[in-house]
Amino acid sequence: MAYLRKGMIPEASAAFLKVTEVSPKFAAAYYQMGVCYERQKEPEKALAAYQEALAIDPSNPDVAYNAGLILFGLGRIDEALPRFEQALTLRPDDPAYLEMAGRCYINKTDFPKAVEYLEKAKAGTVDADRIKFLEDLIATLKAQIKK
């Protein structure tokens, strides 16, 4: 963890790999390996590490969310949405999780469902700029729905 905090990503990756070899059922090590791979711009390796973490401990919403973010960034919306929804089953009011699920529904052109998620995200958001962004996005989607 110290390597990761100091930005020493190759050293952190090696240390987490060693932990997984010594303790192969320690989900947190796979999660942190995923974080390292993300920072090294290796999305497929990060996804594999997150998948391993989820297989060991499916109760960590951050793992599901991070995997969803990677999949979303890769344009794999149909794979990303279940990850965000998995995270939401564990933390149903998290504004970031709700927003990303809403963005998936935008990509799927299910605007009513997107609005539903985005309104919940807005209700749980405290950042004024983020609230304004979500309000504008919701208004745009509602206008699309009316067409």
Tens digits of per-residue pLDDT, 29-45?
999 999 999 999 999 99
Phi, psi of 106 (to 5 degrees): -60, -45
Q: Contacts from 113-119 at CB under 8 Å and sequence distance 24+?
A: 114/141, 115/141, 115/142, 115/145
Residues 42-62, mean pLDDT to the nearest whole number: 96
The pTM (predicted TM-score) of the whole model is: 0.89
Which tokens in the block code for residue 117? 């998620």
What topology is assigned to 1-57 in CATH? 1.25.40
Higher-scoring residue by pLDDT: 110, 147:
110
Per cent of the chain over pLDDT 70 is 100
pLDDT of amino acid 92: 96
pLDDT at 147 over 90: no
Contact 68, 50 (CB under 8 A): no
pLDDT (tens digit per residue) in 1-11: 888 889 888 88
Residue 147 token pair: 């067409």
Q: Residue 125: pLDDT band by 50, 70, 90 thresholds?
A: very high
In the chain, domain spans: 1-57, 81-147
The answer, yes or no, to whether residue 108 has pLDDT greater than 80, is yes
